[in-house]
């Protein structure tokens, strides 16, 4: 009899524990799903970040970065053009339409051979996004000066 009571108690507690875990997992999903992008009627474009900070980087380092975005609309998003504010900032444009709900990216390459300079540049994005046919994105940072090679000491006469 004791074994039956003990077995029944274990079964009840294990079912309660599983239900509590399921509720906790469901609450976690609800909390993370509340951070949704607003939906638009037509093509839309929401960027994860509209500014990329390179920070302080060495001269001649990798200047490639990506602006990631989501089409939060219900029609395909078409990026028709991307334009850097100067020749040192070269963006890449997605060639294919971005489907509703899909992610895409705008690549940007800053010329890090311009050593010893702080920079703030822009990339202008032209698209069919509702309400924001043009969007200006920003890159900024500081490129360290190149290290100058040490000059050899003049030989001393003995």
pTM: 0.69
Q: How far apart are CA 137 and CA 67, in angstroms?
A: 8
- Predicted local confidence at residue 124, as pLDDT: 97
Query: Tell me, what's the pLDDT at 155?
Result: 63
pLDDT score, position 43: 96
Distance CA 106, CA 114 (A): 22
pLDDT at 20: 47
Helices first, then strands: H and E counts in the chain: 1, 8
What averages of pLDDT result for each successive group of 10 residues across the chain (158 residues)? 56 50 48 57 95 95 96 96 94 95 96 89 96 95 83 61
Closest CA to 77 of 86, 89, 69: 69
pLDDT at position 38 is 75
């Amino acid at each position: 009899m004791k074994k039956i009571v003990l077995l029944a108690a274990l079964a009840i507690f294990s079912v309660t524990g599983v239900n509590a875990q399921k509720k906790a997992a469901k609450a976690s999903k609800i909390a993370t799903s509340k951070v949704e992008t607003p939906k638009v009627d037509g093509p839309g474009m929401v960027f994860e970040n509209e500014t990329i900070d390179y920070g302080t980087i060495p001269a001649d380092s990798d200047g490639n970065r990506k602006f990631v975005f989501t089409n939060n609309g219900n029609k395909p998003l078409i990026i028709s053009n991307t334009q850097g504010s100067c020749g040192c900032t070269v963006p890449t444009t997605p060639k294919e339409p971005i489907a509703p709900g899909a992610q895409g990216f705008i690549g940007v390459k800053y010329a890090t051979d311009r050593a010893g300079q702080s920079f703030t540049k822009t990339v202008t994005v032209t698209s069919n996004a509702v309400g924001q046919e043009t969007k200006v994105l920003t890159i900024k940072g500081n490129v360290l000066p190149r290290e100058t090679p040490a000059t050899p000491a003049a030989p001393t006469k003995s």
